[in-house]
Structure 1
Amino acid sequence: MEQQPGQPCIICGQVKEEGIVIVSHFICEDCESEMVHTEAEDAKYRFFIGRMKKIGLQKNA
């Protein structure tokens, strides 16, 4: 199996090789970890929600 090159992360925009794919959109390991550890009261939480809306996961936010 041929190794795929890195993909751009939908959150940070950087091309990385390690991460997850949700509904055909890539989220790098670093952003995934940061999202999991961000509290809802944190200002960055709204940033993450905005990015996730791009992939249709937050239809009624």
Structure 2
Amino acid sequence: MKQLLGFVSFVLIAQGVGGLAHHFGWFDLWGLVHRVGFLDGYELYAGVVLIVLGLAVGGLAERIRD
């Protein structure tokens, strides 16, 4: 379970950073935030939310005992 939450945390943080990078024009190759239609105009906020959620899931993964 700890490894699964760690992986989910990584994916959330990576997608959040990718969304922010795409929003600022630094990186245009991957990321899902800019491809979701209902997030048009809110890509920046969605990227920040994904990063914060990824950090929260990562913190939860660290608190779980093996």
What TM-score results when the alignment is normalised by the length of structure 2?
0.31
From the two aligned structures, give the one with the greater strand fraction.
Answer: 1
From the two aligned structures, give the one with the greater helix fraction.
Answer: 2
- Structure of higher RCO (CA pairs closer than 8 Å, 6+ residues apart): 2
What TM-score results when the alignment is normalised by the length of structure 1?
0.33
